[in-house]
Amino acid sequence: MFSNVSAIKSDCEEQLALAMPIYKEALSALDTLDKGDITEMKAYTSPAEEIVLVVSAVCLLLGEKENWDAGKKLMNNPNNFLTSLRSYDKDNIKESLLKKLKKYT
């Protein structure tokens, strides 16, 4: 039984080691965004598919409808939007939300 637990722990540690650099890179990228960036992005009438994908995932995490229009509404106040991203409680995301998020990853 303990060897099974040890194997699971080892697998989790390996997965975490792979994910942490990506996570840290994402945090660094978030820190480069400012109000002007959000205002510019919100002004896009036909954003690139990748932008819509990211904004839709953010909408899901923030409990909003997953589309560009909902994302633009979130960006109406760029400072609040950035604050909500920076202070998001990433350590307490419900399992059901993580499952829904998989379609974006």
Tens of pLDDT, residues 66-87: 999 999 999 999 999 999 999 9
Does residue 2 have a pLDDT over 80? Answer: no
In the chain, alpha helices (H): 2-32, 35-42, 49-61, 68-74, 78-86, 95-101
**Confidence class of residue 3 from pLDDT cuts 50, 70 and 90?**
low
Tens of pLDDT, residues 4-35: 778 888 888 888 888 888 888 988 988 999 99
* Predicted TM-score (pTM) above 0.85: no
Query: For residues 99 and 26, what is the distance between their CA atoms, to the nearest angstrom?
Result: 20
Answer for the pair 68, 47: CB distance below 8 angstroms, yes or no: yes
Side chain identity, residue 101? L
How far is Cα of residue 90 from the mean position of the Cα atoms in its chain? 9
For position 12, what pLDDT does the model report? 83
Among 47, 61, 71, which residue's Cα sits nearest to residue 101? 61
